[in-house]
Chains A and B, each alone.
Chain A
Amino acid sequence: MGMTMTQKILAAHAGLSQVEAGQLIEADLDLVLGNDITSPVAIKEMEKMKVDGVFDKDKIALVPDHFVPNKDIKSAEHCKCVREFAKRNEITNYFEVGQMGIEHALLPEQGLTVAGDVIIGADSHTCTYGALGAFSTGVGSTDMAAGMATGKAWFKVPSAIKFNLTGKPSEWVSGKDVILHIIGMIGVDGALYKSMEFTGDGIANLTMDDRFTIANMVIEAGGKNGIFPVDELAISYMKEHSTREYKIYEADADAVYDEEYTIDLSTLRPTVAFPHLPENTKTIDEIKEYIKIDQVVIGSCTNGRLDDLRIAAKVLKDRHVAEGMRCIVIPATQTIYLQAMEEGLLKTFIEAGAIVSTPTCGPCLGGYMGILAEGERCVSTTNRNFVGRMGHVNSEIYLASPAVAAASAVAGKISCPCKLS
């Protein structure tokens, strides 16, 4: 029986010629990732294991990004724990403040993730690297500990849903709108335990940053991983960023899928997920009511990349955020920050009345740098709008693209660049 792209990568890493959905396997890992929230728990667990150090100091990435620069004493202690562990184990890819970025933007940029890899990360958005044709999935701290110690992880081989993307997105429609549309269509558990395999000639019309955004949010549909075929664009991205050898896997022609969907990208519209689930989507045309907004966040592992900042700057250029609006822009990595500076994007943001922060996950998960008070509403380019995610249990998050977020900052209500004067 034919295998999906995901199944082929897993089979190769388990030393098997064939795997099938539901099979339990043990696979070799190319990279194990952790951040400042999940790593301290993993380090504590690893210390209980009867092992001498990590399996490979070059195949572990430790990225303090959630609560850094340290937001309080307890967070500082967690970061210290990670820093000392990295030093003690001579971890090659430890990223201190100054080098760090939001992990899922940072790792591909640093060339640590390439096609054909099997990657686990103690962060649910580890699925991002599927954009490059890798199998990558989020796990918890204990799996991270076992991964760091043994270089292996157990997996139940997933079945898959195929998304055939055709056509070209229209102006102001980006990867965020594609994935919000899909989550709205299949629901927050629509791909539970499954791979989401993207295919079709429409992919050629999506930038790498669009693809990272789409793969990043497959977890919001319950997906185990999301994966894109490796085309010329992905290859040139890897050649530009990485010295590692990549390996291209393709789904068999007779691979079996649980479901198949075809999505014509040209028909999609800017899309917003209403509180309190990413599946509560409406297109911008369906939003008739006036929804006053107090804060806008443009950033995160979902939408803090250069394309995202360029789009936001295009909207904010020669405009100003609405009176009383707090607009927070967070470039995802130092490199992106620098590029945005060189392109004049940061100047545009500041002149428009926005603030620009050092890379951090901060506001996305209600950590710091933009917590919401009771009754406040935020349009955010982040990935989750659960109850209390960004602050008070009676605050509201509307998930959207950088274009919609920037336009909403100007209008003071949910809006779209096409509606701005």
Chain B
Amino acid sequence: MKAAKGRVFKYGDNVDTDVIIPARYLNSSDPAELAQHCMEDIDKGFIDKVHKGDIIVATKNFGCGSSREHAPIAIKAAGVSCVIAETFARIFYRNAINIGLPIVECPEAAQAIEAGDEVEVDFDSGVITDVTKGTTYQGQAFPEFMQKIIAAEGLVNYINTTQSHADLG
């Protein structure tokens, strides 16, 4: 699997899907349009600051709240290559995997990495490297089944190739 590399945007606990993509924009399902409002209610102007490949790092329970897949879709379409958090809310976790947005759980990295750091993530090993600080962390590698879904760029492509979810690795 590929790796991610980029500058970090750092957030705290309980970043909910309402601030990731406010419901007032949910009358659209167009990824590019959703990306324009990504993180708007927690970090106004995020879309003007983010560059392709950048990484979001947050602490506990990232993506809590609504089941809207528009949240990981907006993050992915904004160019973010990976989200690292102490923990993810479970529906966001599923949704991210299902649409092929790489996410990694790693409490140590989530605590230590700071905004603006340059960070590299190897999805196969789960190793996170803070290039700025010269530190490495071991994130939780995905079970093989989830790695396959991410590698296929989402559940739809995965099902198209396997005809079921049954290959649970």
* A contacts, CB < 8 Å to B: 24-26, 37-38, 40-41, 44-45, 48-50, 66-67, 71-72, 74-75, 78, 121-124, 126, 138-143, 145-146, 149-150, 152-154, 188-189, 192-193, 219, 222, 224, 277, 365-367, 384, 386-389, 393
Contact = CB atoms under 8 A, between A and B. Distances in A.
A41 B70 contact: yes
A367 B168 contact: no
Contacts of A222: 61, 64, 89-90
Contact of B27 (A78, A145, A192): A78
Given A38-B67, A123-B67, A140-B69, A26 B95 contact: no
Which of B70, B143, B156 has the most chain A CB atoms closer than 10 A to its own CB? B156
Contacts of B16: 384, 386-387
Q: Which 7 pairs, one residue from A and one from B, show the smallest C-beta to C-beta distance?
A: A140-B95, A74-B27, A140-B69, A142-B98, A189-B61, A365-B23, A124-B67
Interface of B: 14, 16, 18-19, 22-24, 26-29, 41-42, 60-61, 64-70, 72-73, 87, 89-91, 94-95, 98-99, 143, 145, 154-156, 159-160, 164-166, 168-169
Nearest to B71: A140
Consensus secondary structure, chain B interface:
loop
A361 to B, nearest CB: 9
B41 A139 contact: no
A124 B165 contact: no
A218 to B, nearest CB: 11
A49 B165 CA distance: 13
A367 B29 contact: no
Contacts of B67: 38, 121-124, 126, 138-140
A148 to B, nearest CB: 12
A13 to B, nearest CB: 13
A222 to B, nearest CB: 6
Given A366-B22, A388-B41, A140 B98 contact: yes
Contact of B95 (A44, A48, A50, A142): A142
